[in-house]
Structure 1
Amino acid sequence: MRPVLVSACLLGLATRYDGHSKTNAQVLDYLHSRNLLPIPVCPEQLGGLATPRPPARFHAGDGEGLWLEQGELVNQEGESMNAAFMRGAEETLRIARLTGCRTAILKERSPSCSVHRIHRREGLTAGSGVAAALLRQAGLTLISDEDL
């Protein structure tokens, strides 16, 4: 079985900011039909954040911008989340390397995992999450749950 990183919430684990899961039958079918071994990750938990936790969104830039010090990610209480999200992304990449993952299936619209679109103050816009940006830079193939 080939290992694949998967956003833990998509597998049914209650890791989302609101303490719920986002079980995705298409993701589960995709993994099963291709005989893939899911490696569950939640970059936000890996960054030390509690579950549940206040929601966070970008005030400037996106995940790629954050790594270039051109982004800002804050929770609904106005606290900077940059350090925690970056730490979680680094731990997620470490897990990918330890397990030999070259592909990741990630939750779209997440400030950590989004492959295509993120939430900013002004609404949904093109961009990637913090962990997704780092994984992409490291050469992993990214698949959004919405791509399946």
Structure 2
Amino acid sequence: MSGAGAPTLSVDGTGLKVVVVAASWHTVVMDGLLAGARRALEAAHVEDVTVVRVPGTFELPVAARAAAAAGADAVVALGVVIRGGTPHFEYVCSAATSGLTDVAVRTGVPVGFGVLTCDDEAQALDRAGLDGSHEDKGAEAAEAAVATVVALRGL
């Protein structure tokens, strides 16, 4: 099962500015991911939260880069790509992963990776933090982003 061995993160993000960039495809899944991220940020005492919606997962890196340039302490990137019958899945997943990694490394701004790459809609729903889901990847991405900011500030 995915998620086995995940750390329990509990950090104080008071005073942080966090931007959540979220794709618009697969509304039910995205609504769940976004709600999970908001819950986790609230639990971490992050009050300065901006949500930016972009068309799809492919557009997340450019939005994350803009958020970092605008002064975000952390970015939470949320999206979902569901495998279809063409190579499009691999291209979008690879571009989003590489792009978001590049944003974090080049800017030094942590990017929480909440992009679901699933074989089917059932897998996405099971990870979206909805009632009956086994995982809440939106919350996990937000927690990771805040925890990374706190860790970096301790260096």
On whether the aligned pair clears a TM of 0.5, the verdict is no
| Structure number with higher strand proportion | 1
Q: TM-score, normalised by structure 2?
A: 0.43
Q: TM-score, normalised by structure 1?
A: 0.45
Higher-RCO chain (CA-CA 8 Å, sequence separation at least 6) = 2
| Structure number with higher helix proportion | 2
